[in-house]
Structure 1
C-alpha cells in the first residue's frame, strides 16, 4: 500500500502540473498564492501574545474582526493594545458581532472610542426568539490585519475561554499568522466587510478611503489561499474546498471540528473516501455545550462507523478547533465549523495551505491531542448504547431538520440542510 510519504512526494513532483490542469477544467478551484510564510498558532497561549505584539508594532492601520469580544482579562489586554495603537495615530478598526459580543459593556466601547478606535457592531439587533435568516447571519470570522504586512486568521475569539466549571481552560483551538502576498487578500476582505457594515449603519458617510498599497514581497515558500463564506458571491467556497480535497484524497483525512453536522454531500464524500481505502479520522467535541447539536450529530455516527471511519471525542478541555489535514500536504485552519450555522449562514474565513511542513506540524499536533485527550468510539460500544440515547439522537436530528424549514431552508431544495445555530464557536 502506498504510504503518506509517497503521496507527499507525488504531489511535490506533479502537484503544480495537476493544479494548472485542474484550473482550466474547474474555474471554481481554490486560487493558491505562492511565496507566503504561514505559522501555526495553537491555543490562546500562542495566539494572544502574537497579535498583541503585532498591534504594538502597528504604524499605519489595523482591522480586527471577532465574533466574541469579552470584558475579561484577555479582552482588556487586547483592548489596551488597540487603545495604544489608536493613541499613537494608527487607524484602528474593531468590528464585533452583535450577538456574540452582546455582553460587551458600553464602558469598554466608550473607552476604545475615546482613544480613537473605530468600533462597529455587525447586526446589532438580536433576538433569541427568531429564526429569520437575516438575524441568524452573524459575523463569525476571527481576523486581525496589521499594516497590511501580517494577518491572523483562525477560530480563537477575544476572551479567556473559560471551561464549563469557570476554570481557565487550555481551550483547544488554532489560528495562523500570515506573511507574504496573501495578506493583501485578507486585508481587502476585512476592509470590504468594514465598509459594507459602515454604509449600512450610516449610509453616505465615508468611513475608510485609505488607498495605502501593501507590500507583496515574498516572505516564504508556502502556497496558500484565503477563503471566505458570505451571502453574496462566496456562499460555498469553504465547503467546496473541503469537498475537492476529500474527493482527491488518496491516503489520509484528519478533521477536527467543534460543531460537526455536515450536509449529505459532505457525509457521502467522507464515506466514499473511506470506501476507497483512505483513512478517515474525525476528532470531535467530547463536552456537551450545545445539547441539541450534540445529540443530533450523534445520529450520524452509525453510518460513519459502518464505513470504517475513526471517531474520537476530545474530553481534556473544550474543543473549539476547525482544522483539517489531508494526504500530508493540504491543510486548512479557520473559523468555519462543519455545521449549518457556518456552512449556510455566517460570515466565515479560512486559510488553506498546500505545504508539507505545515501540514505535518498540524497533523502531529492533532495526533498528540488524540493520544493525550481523546477517546475513540468503538463500533461495538456504540451499537450497545441504550434505546433511550438513540431515540434522543434521532429526535434531536428531526428537530434540526424541522428548524431548517421554518428558518427558510427546505430540505428538498438544497443539499445537506440542518439547523442554523448561534453558539460561541
Structure 2
C-alpha cells in the first residue's frame, strides 16, 4: 500500500451535501466517462438513487468503459438477481469484499471491513466522503425516512486523484488474485500479481494531473491494516493539538479512544471552543449506548456535545480554526480507527473550510440540542446499565481483536 503523501497544491474541490448533491454529480461523472470507472462503497443499495448509480455504471460499461465496483460483503450482503444479470450483460466487473458467511463473526480477522467510499473516473476526477450508494430517503433497516441523512462528500480534481486511482487499482488486483487463489487458478494468480506489481505509480496514473500550481492544498489519507494503521487518527490528533480557536466535529458513531479524548479536553483547557455533533436518534444499540458514558465525560470537561435530532447523522467531517478540514468515511470509533479500510480527504484552505464550517453551524443552530448532564444523570437505571454493558462489550471486542484503543 502506498504511503499517504504530504499535502499538495493543485486541487479543485467541491463540497457535496447529502445525496441530492452527491448522486447527480456522481452519475454525471460516470456518464461522461470515456475509459474507466472505479467505485468502492460499504453499502450498495439498488433502490432509488442507488438504482440511478447502478444504471449509470451499466450504461458506461455498455459503451466500452472499463467499470470496476467493490462493495463490502457485510454492508452489501447480496445483489438483486436482475441487477447481477444486467451488469453481467453490460460487462460491469464487481466484487463483494469478505462476506461473513455463517462463521465470519466468530473470526476476529474477518471483522476488517471495506468502509471507504471512493470513486475515480478516467483517472481525472475523484469522489470521497461518507455517502454510501444508498438513497438518502431510504434505510435498509428503518425503511422510508421522513428526513434525509446528514452526510457530506467531496468531488476533487488534482494530484490526489492519481493516488486514489493507484490505491483502488491495487486493491482490485489483490482481490482478484485472492479469488483466483481460492479457486486454485494458479496461472491467473501469477497474472494478477504481475499486474499488481506493474501498476503505474500515482504520478503516472491515467489522466493524472501533474500540475502543482493550484491554490487548494489537499491530501488523501487512508486507513488500512498494513502501513496506514493510524494515519487518519494521527491527522485528527495533530490538527486538534494545534487548534487555537475552534474545533467542530460531526461524527455519526463517535466513540473516541483515550488519545482523542485527551486531545479534545486539552484543547478546551487551552481556551479552544470544541463542538461535537453526534447522533441524537437511536439507531444501533452498541453505538448509541457505548458512546454515552464517553459523551458525558467530555461534556463534564467543557466539550460542547450537540445531538442531531431531525434524522440520522452519517457525516464524518471536521473543521479546525477555519483552515483545516476533513471529509471522509472514517468515524472516530474503534471499528473505523482500528479495523476498517477508510479514506478521508484533508484540506488546508480557508474557503473550503469556511463552507463546511458554515454548513455545520447551520446544523448546530437549527437542528441540534445541547447535551444535558443533569437529564442524562436522571435517566432510568436500566438505561445506564445498557450504557455500561455496551461499553464493556465494545472493550471485549477490542480485546479479542488484539487491538488497544
**What's the TM-score, normalizing by structure 2?**
0.90
CA deviation after TM superposition for structure 1 residue 345, in Å:
0.6
1:79 to 2:54 alignment: yes
Q: Which residue of 2 aligns with 1:36?
A: 11
CA deviation after TM superposition for structure 1 residue 136, in Å:
0.9
* Residue 320 of structure 2, aligned match among 296, 321, 326: 326
Distance in 1 (CA, whole Å) between partners of 2:191 and 2:49 is 33
CA deviation after TM superposition for structure 1 residue 165, in Å:
5.3
Where 2:345 maps in the other structure, the secondary structure is: strand
Pick closer, same or farther for the CA change 1:155–1:127 going to 2, 3 Å: farther
Q: Which residue of 2 aligns with 1:148?
A: 123
Alignment of 1:199-348 (within 5 A): 199-202=177-180, 203-206=189-192, 213-216=206-209, 217=211, 220-348=214-342
Alignment of 1:89-128 (within 5 A): 89-127=64-102
Where 1:120 maps in the other structure, the secondary structure is: strand
CA contact (8 A) 1:229 1:346 kept: yes
1:48 to 2:41 alignment: no
Distance in 2 (CA, whole Å) between partners of 1:125 and 1:29 is 29
Pick closer, same or farther for the CA change 1:168–1:85 going to 2, 3 Å: farther
- Residues 247-287 of structure 1: per-residue CA shift (max 9 Å, x gap): 11111110100001111111111111111111110100011
CA deviation after TM superposition for structure 1 residue 198, in Å:
1.2
Where 1:272 maps in the other structure, the secondary structure is: helix
CA contact (8 A) 1:126 1:135 kept: no
1:383 to 2:377 alignment: yes
**What's the TM-score, normalizing by structure 1?**
0.86
* Residue 139 of structure 1, aligned match among 103, 111, 114: 114
Pick closer, same or farther for the CA change 1:131–1:250 going to 2, 3 Å: farther
Pick closer, same or farther for the CA change 1:29–1:68 going to 2, 3 Å: closer
398-407 or 159-168, larger mean C-alpha shift: 159-168
Distance in 1 (CA, whole Å) between partners of 2:346 and 2:168 is 17
- Residues 212-240 of structure 1: per-residue CA shift (max 9 Å, x gap): 63231458410001000011110110011
CA deviation after TM superposition for structure 1 residue 30, in Å:
6.5
Where 1:204 maps in the other structure, the secondary structure is: helix
Q: Which residue of 1 aligns with 2:163?
A: 185
CA contact (8 A) 1:180 1:219 kept: no
CA deviation after TM superposition for structure 1 residue 92, in Å:
0.9
CA contact (8 A) 2:289 2:390 kept: yes
Distance in 2 (CA, whole Å) between partners of 1:399 and 1:180 is 43
Pick closer, same or farther for the CA change 1:30–1:316 going to 2, 3 Å: farther
How many residue pairs are counted as aligned between the two chains?
A: 384
200-209 or 104-113, larger mean C-alpha shift: 200-209
388-397 or 344-353, larger mean C-alpha shift: 388-397
Q: Which residue of 2 aligns with 1:19?
A: none
- Residues 169-191 of structure 1: per-residue CA shift (max 9 Å, x gap): 41100000011122111111111
CA deviation after TM superposition for structure 1 residue 199, in Å:
1.1
Q: Which residue of 2 aligns with 1:68?
A: 43
Distance in 1 (CA, whole Å) between partners of 2:35 and 2:92 is 13
Structure 2 segments unaligned to the other structure (5+ residues): 181-188
Where 1:299 maps in the other structure, the secondary structure is: helix
Distance in 2 (CA, whole Å) between partners of 1:321 and 1:277 is 26
Distance in 2 (CA, whole Å) between partners of 1:109 and 1:96 is 13
CA deviation after TM superposition for structure 1 residue 38, in Å:
1.1
RMSD of aligned C-alpha atoms?
Answer: 2.0
28-37 or 73-82, larger mean C-alpha shift: 28-37
* Residue 389 of structure 2, aligned match among 373, 380, 395: 395
Distance in 1 (CA, whole Å) between partners of 2:71 and 2:157 is 24
Distance in 2 (CA, whole Å) between partners of 1:96 and 1:106 is 16
Distance in 2 (CA, whole Å) between partners of 1:405 and 1:385 is 29
CA deviation after TM superposition for structure 1 residue 373, in Å:
1.3
CA contact (8 A) 1:139 1:348 kept: yes
Distance in 2 (CA, whole Å) between partners of 1:252 and 1:231 is 32
